[in-house]
Structure 1
Amino acid sequence: MDLSIFLRLLLVLPNRYIYTNAVYKQRIHNIYIMNTKAKIRQELLVLRKNLSETWNEMFWSKLCDNLLGLIATLSGRSVCGYYPIKFEINMIYILAEIEKLGRYDIGLPRVVDKFRPLEFKLWRTNTPLEFNSNMGLHEPYQSQETIIPDLIMVPLLGFTRSCHRLGYGGGFYDRTLPHYPNAVSIGVAYSFQENNDIPTEPHDIPLFYIVTEAGIIRNSWS
């Protein structure tokens, strides 16, 4: 073999090995994160499903008071929530309480496309909703007025003390929150949903606040 070719191989092969090894390690890491998140999701879904009505009624009012107290300290005219699924906290009741204040436009999300950010539509307690059978949730009709949210209340399965959230894995809010860079994001949960073993990835966006019946967790930079 020509010496120059041999020397070039010595330079190229280690780089290719390092690259291949790095890619392999990244894939293993991604699989670990996906499996860990899937396991935690399942555990938290079971916990939330088995939550007793007594426990729910006992702490719901405290959570509602904490959330309304936080909203009162923040600027903004439009408050957007979500329609509850899978035994989530009933955000419709909370939005109805906010509507009674008479100071805010209320919005609910509508799925535009599986891979696009959510859009928010104006909502009132008497506004009819349609059922999205593909997503398994109720949402405003397309004909409803679109609003730009100042405050976005975000559904979650779990959260960390640093205000990272664990969702259902669809990535809707990972796409939606950057689409509204001026909006303040607020996770709404019960305190038992805190789990600091939730792994985070570079694309995971921490929320500004997490509100539970036990109090308000503020992101360090909010």
Structure 2
Amino acid sequence: MSDMFNISDPGPELPAANADWPVVRDWRKQTRAKLLEQRIGISAEDRAAWSERISQALAAALEPYAGQLIGFYWPFRGEYDPRSILSSMRDRGSRLALPVIVEREQPLVFREWSPGSLMTQGVWNVPTPESGEAVLPNLLVVPLVGFDEQGYRLGYGGGFYDRTIAAMPTKPRTIGVGFELGRLETIYPEPQDIPLDSVVTER
């Protein structure tokens, strides 16, 4: 994990340690909205500089997985764009796969992707492979809205990645990728939340 990044606006007040789920859910919703606002508002200059540092760190983190099947994400809403780094992994023999939301409150399905794959607009208008057999990646590169010191991830609230990882016959390695402004003291993890193996930010 990288050094703490101080932001001027700390966001919603942290709930009590023993807060019940409705309180935590409301806090997560407010925190998610604040982090998304901050992420979308990153200046072009900072985004380019931070993304370059993330790319360097992500390339190093992916080095042991050359030649393996890697699941990644198509960026939206100001997310770090991993496509050039993952494409370079494909040039080195890795296969790549993108997630598809087939049904809400169900695990994601990963379909193999390569440049030129026929794409369709999925949920939230994120491009996904139009067809293909489901595959099981060895490694997942996972987008972050927020994350905490224990590696728990704050996503968009659908629980798709936790549900998917729990349903896989063999747990894949997971690398969360995002900007340091998403670092939180805690996300107040629930029993179904699965921590990431590592997190890559610009720091």
**TM beyond 0.5:** yes
The counterpart of 2:99, out of the listed 83, 106, 109, is 109
Q: CA RMSD in A?
A: 1.8
Cα distance in 2, alignment partners of residues 59 and 156 from structure 1: 15
- Residue 195 of structure 1: aligned partner: 184
- Residue 153 of structure 1: aligned partner: 141
The counterpart of 1:52, out of the listed 43, 47, 64, is 43
Post-superposition offset of 1:157 = 0.5
Per-residue CA distance 1:127-183 (angstroms, 9 max, x = gap): 231112x433110012x2432100001112000011000011111112111122331
Conserved in 1, the CA contact under 8 Å of 2:151 and 2:199? yes
Conserved in 2, the CA contact under 8 Å of 1:129 and 1:139? yes
Conserved in 2, the CA contact under 8 Å of 1:187 and 1:209? yes
Conserved in 1, the CA contact under 8 Å of 2:176 and 2:196? yes
Conserved in 2, the CA contact under 8 Å of 1:156 and 1:166? yes
Percent of pairs identical after alignment?
29
TM-score by length of 1: 0.78
Cα distance in 2, alignment partners of residues 197 and 184 from structure 1: 22
- Residue 58 of structure 2: aligned partner: 67
Per mean C-alpha deviation after superposition, the further-off stretch among 40-49 and 68-77 is 68-77
Conserved in 1, the CA contact under 8 Å of 2:109 and 2:134? yes
Higher helix share: 1
Cα distance in 1, alignment partners of residues 113 and 162 from structure 2: 23
TM-score by length of 2: 0.84
Post-superposition offset of 1:97 = 2.5
Per-residue CA distance 1:79-110 (angstroms, 9 max, x = gap): 1101112111112233222222x220011111
- Residue 80 of structure 2: aligned partner: 89
- Residue 38 of structure 1: aligned partner: 29
Structure number with greater Rg is 1
Q: Which runs of 5+ in 1 are unaligned?
A: 1-27, 215-222
SS of residue in 2 equivalent to 1:106: strand
- Residue 6 of structure 1: aligned partner: none
Conserved in 1, the CA contact under 8 Å of 2:97 and 2:112? yes
The counterpart of 1:122, out of the listed 105, 112, 124, is 112
Structure 1 consecutive aligned stretches of length 4 or more whose deviation exceeds 6 Å: none
Conserved in 1, the CA contact under 8 Å of 2:100 and 2:110? yes
Amino acid at match of 2:117: T
The counterpart of 2:173, out of the listed 184, 188, 193, is 184
Aligned residue pair count: 185
